[in-house]
Structure 1
């Protein structure tokens, strides 16, 4: 990768900007329903409920209704389901936000995330409580969210739309994601990539971009 070519930087959200722990959601739903976490995971996986929610096939209300049906708990209030679903969201280290704000002075910045409306609302609350930034849209030129786009990574179509709508050239664009499949799909289109892998963070990978 030639750093000097880069004009645009596209960030993933989970485990790139906000720390997450995906199994915590299944654990939270298991505790609510009195079932084993593995059983809950299997039920959700069989019907691809998260994929449907994160591609907009299910609305927030539809997602909640489906969860009630699948876990046979028709009386759960919305906030109980939202809290369980948001259990996987952890913290946003302020230094990552400071880095993004510094990068805005040199690059066009974008966000591309496989996510849902419930998660975005929760992330914005965490962002504001942690840094005083009101919403993700305040950090980026444009925010691309799978549930609004009707397609999710690693489908090539989502990257093509991002490049087109952002008027970006692939070879001038750097994409950071923690998922190897998502990285491979972007790289296949000529996008420059960084696979974010713990214990390293964007603070490590992008240190040279603000120096």
Structure 2
């Protein structure tokens, strides 16, 4: 049985759907052109590794004047892309803590964006510890960030059960012997299956996992 649980945040506790937000505010074809022409993912990855949020977005906007207003939305509308919370996952986090199970976060998240998320989602303060890539200068799936988690928590291998939505992050954890759960993009189904997994691992009872 696992002895500690690690949650990713995006698409496990909070929906992270930039494309969905952009589709709400512009025609889908224009959004697809934006995402094809501008490497927003690389910009976001730099932020996740600790680059200053506003300055990084602004620098990309200056390099792409055609898309300047749309790129700046990544900063100005960020909390709308990182929403809503996945309520059942939050309940599972709190149920685990109520049982005395050590619970950690391991997430690719910028310094500034994580601070914004803490204000919007106070439950993010409820972990025993949050391992945030922007603060660490390391990001999943770099094996070094998993090694750091093991060193700092004192847990390793099958002691750990880790939920993440990305297969590459899961594969890196599994390579270290961690137990893993791949969270589906359908958040309702994902939370239900995650609850069932926590019960199967003996970490929660069925009533606690509701």
- Relative to the length of structure 1, the TM-score reads 0.78
CA deviation profile, 1:55-75 (whole Å, cap 9, x unmatched): 11x2124213313313328x9
Q: Is residue 2:64 matched to residue 1:68?
A: no
Unaligned runs of 5+ in 2: 206-210
- Of 139, 149, 165, which aligns to 1:178? 165
The Cα of 1:190 is off from its aligned counterpart by: 0.7
Q: Distance between the aligned counterparts of 2:15 and 2:73, measured in 1?
A: 22
The Cα of 1:153 is off from its aligned counterpart by: 1.1
CA deviation profile, 1:124-149 (whole Å, cap 9, x unmatched): 2332xxxxxx3512x11110111111
CA RMSD of aligned residues (A): 3.0
The Cα of 1:81 is off from its aligned counterpart by: 4.9
Q: Is the 8 A contact 2:12 2:86 kept in 1?
A: no
Runs of 4+ in 1 over 4 A off after TM superposition: 25-28
Q: Is the 8 A contact 2:43 2:57 kept in 1?
A: no
Q: Is residue 2:145 matched to residue 1:158?
A: yes
- Of 149, 152, 164, which aligns to 2:136? 149
Provide closer, same or farther for how the CA distance between residues 165 and 81 of structure 1 changes in structure 2, counting only shifts above 3 A.
same
Q: Is residue 2:190 matched to residue 1:196?
A: no
Q: Distance between the aligned counterparts of 2:102 and 2:22, measured in 1?
A: 36
Q: Is residue 2:55 matched to residue 1:54?
A: no
Number of aligned positions between the proteins: 195
The Cα of 1:180 is off from its aligned counterpart by: 1.0
Provide closer, same or farther for how the CA distance between residues 84 and 90 of structure 1 changes in structure 2, counting only shifts above 3 A.
same
- Of 106, 122, 126, which aligns to 2:100? 106
In the other structure, the counterpart of 2:19 is 23
- Of 5, 8, 30, which aligns to 2:4? 8
CA deviation profile, 1:153-203 (whole Å, cap 9, x unmatched): 111111111111111122200100111111111101111101111352234
The Cα of 1:46 is off from its aligned counterpart by: 7.9
Provide closer, same or farther for how the CA distance between residues 109 and 72 of structure 1 changes in structure 2, counting only shifts above 3 A.
same
Q: Distance between the aligned counterparts of 2:193 and 2:149, measured in 1?
A: 25
- Relative to the length of structure 2, the TM-score reads 0.79
In the other structure, the counterpart of 1:169 is 156
